[in-house]
Amino acid sequence: MSTAAAYAVSAPDGTFEKIAIERRDLGPHDVLIDVKYAGICHSDIHTARNEWHGTAYPCVPGHEIAGIVSAVGSEVTRHRVGDRVGVGCMVDSCGECESCLAGEQQYCTRGVTWTYNTPVPAEQQAGGYTLGGYSTQVVVTEGFVLSIPDGIGLDVAAPLLCAGITLFSPLRHWNAGPGKKVAIIGMGGLGHVGVKLAAAMGAEVTVLSHSLSKQEDGLRFGAAHYYATGDRATFKQLRGSFDLIINTVSADLPIEDYVKLLKLDGSLVLLGLPEKPATVRASTLAGMRRSLSGSMIGGIPQTQEMLDFCAAHGIGAEIEVISADRIDEAYDRAVASDVRYRFVIDTATM
Ligand code: NAP
Ligand code: ZN
């Protein structure tokens, strides 16, 4: 075991405190990573505050991890000491089920080992559940460690490990590209990367944000249009417009209103994970053969494809780097949508 510094929260309404945690000794396929940057995803906030229930405390969130390999196990072949690497939402899966064999480990039928808050044997993580990237070091099996291409800074790459792949995967699955009208609901951490990715894929991108306050940024990220959903006229004007709508909003939304913005055969994909169920009338779907779906991050091969795509297109997240003692403030600001566009913790401040 080795000791690492980490920032943990000990209760749903607690504040982050610095603690020491144990990381396991390297097994033959393990990689030890010196974490340099860790993004703050809204899922971290949902978990730290127990909004999805079942949070084990002390909780160390963080699944947008970028760093440098500092040691490797005896049989590791994919990574070497000094490599620039990333870790996203998963650190393991069964490797044998249909999903895993298809490279879609996030849908592992025997259960994914998420980067934090997943029960594991104590030999894997002292304490018996995974602890995430708000930490100076992590140990991860090599198949779940991604390579960060040289063209992207580690700080702006970190958020791609969750926000990037979560948008890249549905954009690819639903064929965003030239001739397709794609709308992104919510321009926060996920949404702003989605705008950049969809534009780089060649789609005509519209942002549906609750106000026009970030319009200039949205157009700079590649959107062709930007509408305020706080204005009811938007819903009238855009009725039947889109091939694909991706909802990244972390709060409850009147999904029915957004489904009506789809054209024939259009799909609305839910990525945001609020507590309450979404409701939609069957007739709203049936009338235009519309689909309502969801999507969860993306598999390991596609995550690497996404990082390579971002390097080729000069895409990184827009970030505000913070010291570790400002995590509580960053959470409050993220909940208030006061973030441009992702907080990233500089672990050198731990
Ligand atoms: P975020 O940075 O906080 O952004 C969420 C955006 O939603 C905000 O910027 C805001 O955009 C909009 N919004 C927030 N509160 C709202 C409200 N009350 N009414 C209307 N719009 C509101 O969050 P994030 O990190 O992008 O994560 C978004 C959601 O995705 C979270 O629920 C997270 O758990 C989930 N998530 C899902 C996956 C997956 O695999 N499916 C992966 C990662 C995260 P505007 O200001 O532009 O309106
Ligand atoms: Zn996330």
Domains and CATH numbers, the chain: 2-161+316-349 (3.90.180.10), 163-294 (3.40.50.720)
CA distance 312 to 192: 18
pLDDT of 274? 83
CA 335 – ligand 1 centroid, Å: 9
Instruction: For ligand 1, atom 18, name the residue with the nearest CA.
Output: 251
- CA–centroid distance, 213 to ligand 2, in Å, is 24
| Closest C-alpha among 216, 230, 220, 237 to residue 185 | 230
Ligand 1 surroundings by CB, under 6 angstroms: 41-43, 46, 162, 166, 186-191, 209-210, 248-251, 271-273, 296-297, 334, 337, 339
- Measured in Å, residue 316 CA sits from the centre of ligand 2 at 16
What is the residue-wise DSSP string for 17-32? Answer: EEEEEEEPPP-TTEEE
Residue 183 contacts residue 245 (beta carbons within 8 Å): yes
- Nearest residue to 148 (alpha-carbon basis) of 310, 10, 278: 310
**What is residue 276's predicted lDDT score, i.e. its pLDDT?**
86
What is the C-alpha separation between 331 and 210, in angstroms, rounded?
Answer: 20
In terms of Cβ atoms closer than 10 Å to its own Cβ (0-12, 13-18, 19+), residue 80 is exposed
Q: Which ligand is nearest to the CA of 46?
A: 1
Give the mean pLDDT per block of 10 residues along the chain (350 residues): 96 98 97 98 97 96 98 98 98 98 98 98 95 98 98 97 98 98 97 98 98 97 98 98 96 96 98 89 97 98 98 98 98 94 98
For residue 250, what pLDDT is reported?
87
Compute, in angstroms, the gap from residue 114 CA to the centroid of ligand 1.
20
Write down the pTM of the prediction.
0.97
Ligand 1 binding pocket mutation candidate from 250, 276, 320 (most atoms within 8 A of CB): 250
Determine which residue's CA is closest to atom 15 belonging to ligand 1. 251
Out of 226, 235, 249, mutate this one to test ligand 1's pocket (max ligand atoms within 8 Å of CB): namely 249
pLDDT at 271: 97
Question: Taking Cα atoms as reference points, which of 88, 155, 92 lies closest to residue 124?
Answer: 92
